[in-house]
Homo-oligomer: A and B are copies of this chain.
Amino acid sequence: MMRLKHQSLQKKMRTVSSSPVSKGKGTFTRYDTSLGLLTKKFVGLLKCSPRGVVDLNVASEQLEVQKRRIYDITNVLEGIGILEKKSKNNIQWRGGQMPEVSRHEIQSELDELNEQERILDQLIQNTETDLRQMNEDKRHAYITYQDLRTVPAYKKQTVMVIKAPPEAHLKVPQTNEDAKKKYVMHMKSDHGEIEVFLCPGDGSNIKQETERIKKSLSEKRKVNNISTNLSMSAASSSGASNSKPMSACTAHIQPSTSSEVSGILPHSLDLAQLQMLTNYEPISEESTVSRRLRNALISEADDFNNYQLQTEDQHSSGKIIFDYLAC
């Protein structure tokens, strides 16, 4: 082969091409003669060669490069097995499968996921069993004020415990002025009574909140809708002893019964309620929590749109209704 000491002539006027930042016209960057680009060209040449056979000398002059560079390419491609030296100066493309890198890796990832699924299935199984057992013996199916206050996610929240029959409906509709500290809550029961317990944070203005609810309840009862204003920041943020005696507010709302406030949570809660109270995650973001709450509590009825109307009709026929408003 030719021995060229310093032939700057070789670098003659290149066909003006280059992808990355080839500014100026006559200026050609390193990219123009790069191995990568050359490889592309080489493969292109291979593409239109019959049988995928290429003569290296031909390639060399066709691509206007020293043969030395061609060797670089063929050697590597041969290395990964997609090329084949057919004879002197002749290589041939060999389609075939690529080395299938990271196959083992995909496999292990798959195994991992399978194991994960298995574990989750196991957990579901366990939980179902537990629930079944728990449902059979409800003697200890209750929670205390302490239990509730221990839930980290509820620590700085205003917490209300609602006791209602299974078929009861609860809705927390999307407020017009979203993202505002204003929450509305509707609830109705066809067969049993609804009880609402306020579980304020420690040391805060319990009395104030309780008073508000009481006031609101007694006021609104005449109008079918019982609502109350309760600032969300009312719950104190200063942590203190959790072991103090239960302090809650209960609102029994029945047409024939007057509302009252109790300092003790009832000894038995409905299963569904228990679930919704214990099934929490340690998430502190308010919006998330409230959204989760909404999702958790709303039952079958999506026809709550008609709710307001129905209320009026059914109130006098023994239905229980409770509406709550906080801003």
Contacts and interface: CB of A to CB of B under 8 A. Distances in A.
Nearest to A50: B105
Contacts of A34: 75
Most B C-beta atoms less than 10 A away, residue of A73, A80, A95: A80
A222 to B, nearest CB: 67
A93 B82 contact: no
A43 B47 CA distance: 24
A47 B79 contact: no
Given A34-B75, A79-B40, A98 B98 contact: yes
A102 B46 contact: yes
A60 interface: no
Contact of A80 (B39, B75, B78): B39
Interface of A is mostly: helix
Contacts of A77: 76, 80
A273 to B, nearest CB: 46
A102 B38 contact: no
A79 B46 contact: no
B50 A101 contact: no
A51 interface: yes
A72 interface: yes
Contacts of A40: 79-80
A79 B38 contact: yes
A255 interface: no
Interface of A: 34-40, 42-43, 46-52, 72-73, 75-80, 82, 93, 95, 98-105
24 contacts: A34-B75, A35-B79, A36-B75, A39-B75, A39-B76, A39-B78, A40-B79, A42-B79, A43-B79, A43-B99, A43-B101, A46-B102, A47-B102, A47-B103, A47-B104, A48-B105, A49-B102, A50-B102, A50-B105, A73-B79, A77-B80, A95-B100, A95-B101, A95-B102
